[in-house]
Structure 1
Amino acid sequence: MRNHPVILAWILGTSLLHAHAQGTCPATHPSEFKIELKRLGVDEVMDNGVKVPRVYGDIGVNGQNFGRFYENPALKIAAGVYRGTLRYESNHNFVQGSCGEIGRQGDFLLEVSGVKAADGAKRTDILFHPGFKPSHSKGCVLFGARQRDAAGNPKPLSPDEPLVKLRRAFYGTDTPNQCPNKVITITVTG
C-alpha cells in the first residue's frame, strides 16, 4: 500500500495538535504577557475551624490591577521572575473555558514554572486557581472562593473575577479561536 498524502497529512496534523497540548503557544516573535504578583501583607482567616495566617496581594497584568490573590505563607513562591506555562488539563476543576466555566479541561490554566524549594528541589504544579484559605493551596496562587448554587454545585466565575480578567487579557476575547503569540512572565515581589 502506498503512502497516501491526505492520510499522511492527517496523521502528522493529529500528532502536531497534541504536541502543544501543554506549554506555551508556539511563537516565532512573541509579545510578552507580564503578570505581576505584588504581596501586600498577611491577614488571618478561619480555616478548618482555626484562625491561620494568609498572604494576600494584588495581581496586575501589564501594569493594570486585576484584583486580589492569596497564598499559603508556609508554601509561598519565593520572590523572583518566573516563566508562565499554559495547561489545558488538570486533575482538579481548575481549567478555565469561556464564560467563566471551570473544569478538568479547557483553554486556560497557568502554571508557574521554574519554582524551587528552599533546599533547591524543583517544585511543580504551582497553579493559578480558585481558593482563599491556606488549606486550599500546596503552593499555588489562589484567586478567591468559587460561588456555589443552592445544590452546592460550583457556579461559573463572574466576569469581574481576577482569573476571568487574566484569561480575557491573555486571549483578547472570551471566545478565542487560536493561541496568541505571547510569552508569559510572572514576577513575584514582596
Structure 2
Amino acid sequence: MGKCSLSAWVILFAASAAPAADPFKVVVTRGETKDGLIVGKLSVNGEAVGTVYERADKHVPAGTYKAHLRYESGKNHVQGPGGVLSKKGDFLIELDTFTAGGKKWEFIQFHAGNKPDHSDGCILCGPATTDEKTKEKIAPETLKKFRLKFYGADKPNSTPEREITVEFKGP
C-alpha cells in the first residue's frame, strides 16, 4: 500500500470515528396552573432557557420522549436567524409520534404562544412579536434562546446531528 492510499485510509477512519454531537436533553419542569395554562420552566442540558406554557386540559403526560428537528410548518412556527418565524427555517422541535393513555400524540411542537387556544398539546414559549420595519413575526426570547442552545450561533453553517429527548416533569 502506497503512502497516498494509507493517508486516505487514515483520514477516512478518523472521520468515521469522530464522535457524534452532544445529545440535546430538553426538560420541561411544570409548576402552577393559571388561566388554563400550566406554567413551567424549560432547560437544555441542565441550563435554564426560560418559561413555557402548556394547555392544562391537553398536555403531554409526564415522561421522556424522543424528538426531531423540522424545517417546514404550515403555521409559521419554524424559526430562523434573528428569531424570524416563517413556514420555512432551521429550527422547530417536534416530539416523535407516540401513544400514551390510549391516545396517539403527534405534531407536538415547541412554538410561540401563551394562551390555551394557541395549543392542542404543544409547548408554548411566549408570544411572538412583529418587527415594525420588516413586519416579520419574531420568536419570543425563550424560543430564540432554545434555538441558540441547539446551534450555538444565530447563523449556523450546518445542522449538528444531535439526539433530541424531551422530559416532562410534574403533573
Unaligned runs of 5+ in 2: 1-17
1:115: Cα distance to partner?
Answer: 3.5
Question: Structure 1 residues 115, 69: CA separation in 2 closer, same or farther (over 3 Å shift)?
Answer: farther
| 1:118 positional shift | 2.1
The answer (yes or no) to whether the contact 1:146–1:154 under 8 Å persists in 2 is: no
**1:39 has 2:22 as partner:** no
Once the 2 structures are TM-superposed, how far is the Cα of residue 122 of structure 1 from its aligned partner? Answer: 2.1
Shift of 1:29: 3.2
Per the normalisation by structure 2, the TM-score is 0.82
Q: Which residue of 1 aligns with 2:127?
A: 145
User: How many positions carry a matched residue from both structures?
Assistant: 152
Q: CA deviation at 1:149?
A: 5.4
Task: Note the alpha carbon deviations across 1:15-53, whole angstroms, 9 max, x for none.
Answer: xxxxxxxxxxxx973421111100011012xxxxxxxx2
Q: What's the C-alpha RMSD, in Å, of the aligned pairs? A: 2.0
Query: How does 1:20-99 map onto structure 2 within 5 Å?
Result: 29-44=20-35, 53-99=36-82
Percentage of identical aligned residues: 39
**CA separation in 2, counterparts of 1:154 and 1:39?**
31
The residue that corresponds to 1:170 in the other structure is 150
SS at match of 2:147: helix
Matched, 1:135 2:117: yes
One-letter code of the match for 2:89? G
Distance in structure 2 (CA, Å) of the matches to 1:99 and 1:150: 14
- Equivalent residue of 1:164, what SS? helix
TM-score between both structures, scaled by the size of structure 1: 0.74
Quote how far apart the aligned CAs of 1:154 are. Answer: 5.0
